[in-house]
Amino acid sequence: MKLLKLFTIVAFASALLVACEKNDPKKPAQEPVPYETPALAEAAAKVVFPASAVVTKSGETVKSIEFTEAGYAIILKEKVKADDGTNAFVTTYTFEQGIYKIVGFGNVEIKSGKVTITQVASGEEAPAENYDGNATVTNGSSSSDPFKVYYCAWEIMTTNVKVDGPGIGFDKLFNNAAQASDLYEIAKYVNEKKKVIDAEEFKGYKVESVTLTQEGTIMVKFANDVNYVGTIEGGLKSKTFDYELDIEGNFMFSAKAKGTLDFDETTKICTLAVNGTFTYNNDSYKSTVTLTLKQKANI
């Protein structure tokens, strides 16, 4: 139960907008630069298991496994308590001859709605035993899906933070990528204006990537191996969406939000604009955060 207040300042509560470049008649038109198609775009899939069908060696129940286009495997587990924090084990996978090989978990094969899991790892996140049974399977983007290039990992280029409330009001651009992705650095700046959060709680929280998937999943991966996973209802093909994180009682993220989504074919830049509210010592504050994102070369 650490982290709500900054992410309503600095994370994902409202809108994915496009960074658009104004046309200058004195300059030649810039040729569009295509996005890179994620390496595992056509291997992407999501598997949802029956209740209590798959249990890890640590005794946790696996709800689903999503194989993202970017190469992450997102393994969602049931919560024991509402305030458990993140319930996702995030790792990487390869896809070879129809078999998903998940690092630290095991091998998964999907055939006609049947799923086989074979143990190959010894850690606590691995399944307690092999599984061969039913599951609900949805496939990822097809080769003809024009949106498949957006189902990838993104990294932060700049962050603009605006906060308004009792005794505070500022609008600040962090244009250094290292600082713009470091929630601790941003938290310290906010508290220089007025102490409205505990900046020390955000040490080590550097955003490594923001991943979007065809399934409508949004995942924020931090360099300290913390991962937060949520959903975008309507997926990326909708210009507006409702968004909800699959985390309860978290002090970093606002649980629900609304937003808009678009991508710039010329600059290959996406901008995530965040509108949220948060409270501190019974005072209410409003915030708008704009993240400029670019495709991450690899994960």
pLDDT tens-digit series, residues 206-226:
999 989 898 888 888 989 888
**Does residue 153 carry a pLDDT above 80?**
yes
Decide: helix, strand or coil at residue 61. Answer: strand
Q: Are 87 and 76 in contact, with CB atoms under 8 Å apart?
A: yes
* Predicted pLDDT of residue 141: 66
Task: Tally the domains of the chain.
Answer: 2
Q: What is the pLDDT of residue 81?
A: 47
Structural domain range at position 109: 45-139
First to last CA, the chain: 28
Q: What is the CATH number of the domain that holds 249?
A: 2.40.128
Beta-ladder partners of 272: 16, 291
Q: Are residues 132 and 154 in the same domain?
A: no
Give the pLDDT of residue 26.
40
Number of Cβ within a 10 Å radius of residue 229 = 21
Claim to verify: residue 93 and residue 209 sit in the same structural domain: no
Last residue of a domain, one of 117, 139, 161: 139
Identify the domain boundary among 83, 107, 139: 139
The whole-number pLDDT of residue 122 equals 84
- Asked if the structure places residue 116 within a domain, the reply is yes
